[in-house]
A and B are shown apart, each in its own frame.
Chain A
């Protein structure tokens, strides 16, 4: 599924097997977006959280 980047307007490809909560990256500007809802025909994105100091192990 294709979605327009909210930052630069480029086309972001959301893989069919992607789950809500996964992060997709705009191939043009590098902005990260989190998948918030996904049905067979629609997908919604929101800007992803930036890496926090306490992320990871």
Chain B
């Protein structure tokens, strides 16, 4: 019998739902605290009791990413793979991967000094969006609407101690409705799609920023783009985020490798946790 291991560092709605669903389906499941695992280069797979397939669900991106590298080294199947986490956890790599695979995505510029970043901003004109290349829950994402604010934000980034803070990711601002789309992709299927509306006085749509979810129709265009985006980064269980541009249509701006689906679950009729469990078991049986 296949044993599913949910690796967590903090049990949220999502991890609990996946674990409960596996047990309800009669699948052997375990919850393992990522913070408690140690691994050495001399370890063998049989020395770690992590089941047959592992769902990497750590809330800390880097903990999840590097632990995945270690357990893949031991020969375990991990959902999602290290390569997928590496691309999705980095907006610069995600944009390059999407563009390389011809998945529609907002036009994005990269600069490697504050002076070069200001040069880009002055040549593209306003508004533009400045994002950190590694970051989550919308932290550090700024709409730049005039030169004065742009100068201040770039200066702030320049003074930041983080070397990654000095890599500048500047994106065209999409004239979108006050919402974006989150698609939960499991393998080759979209299992749920929701609109995420910005909270009052908030431009970002993250649920962590108070954004509200509403069920969205899964159109052929949405299905085609979301699946192509998921495949481009290596596939698995992913949250593909898209914006609606009046002229260009749907544009993928982010892909989440440890997708949060509490908001989507509350408005969707699909059993998201159940689909994730079925997919994980099928991965072992392949």
Contacts and interface: CB of A to CB of B under 8 A. Distances in A.
Interface string A6-27: 0000000000000111110000
Interface in A18-55: 19-23, 34, 48-49, 52-55
Interface size class of B (residues with CB under 8 A): 20 to 34
B11 A55 contact: no
Contact of A54 (B11, B61, B239, B257): B61
A8 to B, nearest CB: 22
Given A21-B8, A22-B11, A48-B10, A55 B16 contact: no
Contacts of A54: 60-63, 134, 136
Given A20-B31, A22-B16, A56 B208 contact: yes
A56 B10 contact: no
Interface size class of A (residues with CB under 8 A): 10 to 19
Contacts of B278: none
B258 interface: yes
B180 interface: no
Contact of A57 (B15, B19, B257): B257
A57 B59 CA distance: 8
Interface string B26-67: 000001010100000000000000000000000111110000
6 contacts: A22-B16, A49-B10, A53-B139, A54-B136, A57-B61, A57-B258
Sorted nearest first, the 4 A-B pairs with minimum C-beta distance are A21-B11, A57-B256, A56-B136, A54-B61
Interface of B: 8-11, 15-16, 19, 31, 33, 35, 59-63, 134-137, 139, 208, 239, 256-260
